[in-house]
Amino acid sequence: MDFKNFSDGNNNNMMRLEERYKRIVTSNLDAFLGKTVLDIAANNGRWTYAALDAGASHVTSIEGREARAADAVHFLDDLGYSGKYTANVGDMYDFLYETRNQHFDTVLCLGIYYHVMDHYHFLKQIARHSPTTIIIDSGFVRSFRSSVHVQYEDPSLHLNALSVFAGQKNEPVGFVSLGLMIQMAWNLGYNCRPILWDPNDVTHKSSVQDYMSGRRFTVRLDKIDGNYDADWRDYWASALIAVDKKFALLMNKETHDQATDTRAQGRVETAVFTIF
């Protein structure tokens, strides 16, 4: 997959996109071939392009920064995809509400879920579109306790959250824990299973250190009957142990806290288990 047009002239970014593509798209081709796709926070159209190349019948995108959306249109049209996508500019929450009666087979939420503070509301809005599959690629707190790690970022940087007012310097954002992510998905009738990031299969490890250290994950949510995935442990154990064998400790409540990342090692009594 050639991401040269979409890497902002940064070779490390291009290598990172190539590695992410293998897990987001190649590992999930059934979620793209012949499917209608919604690409949320589409940036310069990189994942719209990837979805169309993988055989999506049509991709609808929403991006908050007009300049990045304009880049997407330019790049995609040059690559011959005119008429196969619809690029929208605006607030993603407004867009999700205004299109709430429109169905999409697959929703892409790539690199945005840790730039918000209302994760459950966001996921509920996505679920209203009744997608069969939701793919989320995000930073997470490596813990099966339910928690949110809050930090601040500068909205003037194009990879960060959008500003609320002119001149804003700090916007609060949250990293949800794996346990909370799984529980929210279950509540909405989806499983939440990780896509394997095996270091042995990663060519450019230095460009994806957040995945290699267990601080970022790619997860696939598929519609299920009911509100519980009885096989969740097997999938998560395999994915976590592939990254680091010591992460096996996470699968037992008694040893769990020995393998969480530093963002989860505060007052653990305030972050409860709900999925065990």
Buried b (16+ CB within 10 A) or exposed e, 110-124: bbbbbbbeebeebbe
Does 203 or 163 have the greater pLDDT score?
Answer: 203
Model confidence over 224-245: pLDDT tens digits? 999 999 999 999 999 999 999 9
Least reliable range by pLDDT among 1-5, 49-53, 83-87, 98-102: 1-5
pLDDT value of position 269: 54
**Which CATH number fits the domain that encloses residue 147?**
3.40.50.150
182 assigned to some structural domain:
yes
53 assigned to some structural domain:
yes
pLDDT tier, 268 (very low <50, low <70, confident <90, very high otherwise): low
pLDDT value of position 61: 98
Q: What percent of the chain has pLDDT over 90?
A: 84
Q: How far is CA 274 from CA 147, 149, 175, 236, 252, in A?
A: 11, 17, 18, 16, 13
Yes or no: say if 172 and 217 are a contact pair by the CB < 8 Å rule. no
Mean pLDDT value across the chain? 94
Does 136 or 264 have the greater pLDDT score?
Answer: 136
pLDDT value of position 271: 61
Does 57 or 155 have the greater pLDDT score?
Answer: 57
Q: Mean per-residue pLDDT for 158-186?
A: 89
Model confidence over 56-66: pLDDT tens digits? 999 999 999 99
275 assigned to some structural domain:
no
Q: DSSP letter at 108? A: E
Model confidence over 24-49: pLDDT tens digits? 999 999 999 999 999 999 999 999 99
276 assigned to some structural domain:
no
Is the pLDDT at 259 greater than 70, yes or no?
A: yes
pLDDT value of position 267: 60
For the chain, what is the domain count?
Answer: 1
Q: What range defines the domain where residue 262 resides?
A: 4-270
pLDDT value of position 13: 94
pLDDT value of position 143: 96
Q: Mean per-residue pLDDT for 247-270?
A: 86
Is the pLDDT at 80 greater than 80, yes or no?
A: yes
Does 171 or 211 have the greater pLDDT score?
Answer: 211
Q: Could you please report the per-residue DSSP string of 149-208?
A: EEEEE-TTSTTSPPPSSTT---EEEEEEBHHHHHHHHHHTTB--EEPP--GGG-S-GGGG
183 assigned to some structural domain:
yes
Residue 86 corresponds to which tokens in the numbers above?
Answer: 């619809």
pLDDT value of position 179: 98
Q: Mean per-residue pLDDT for 162-167?
A: 83
Alpha-carbon distance of 100 to 119, in angstroms, equals 17
Q: Mean per-residue pLDDT for 65-79?
A: 96
197 assigned to some structural domain:
yes
The residue ranges of DSSP E strands in the chain, in sequence order, are 36-40, 58-63, 85-89, 106-110, 133-139, 148-153, 171-176, 193-194, 216-222
253 assigned to some structural domain:
yes
Q: Mean per-residue pLDDT for 240-256?
A: 98
Is the pLDDT at 272 greater than 70, yes or no?
A: no
Is the pLDDT at 117 greater than 80, yes or no?
A: yes
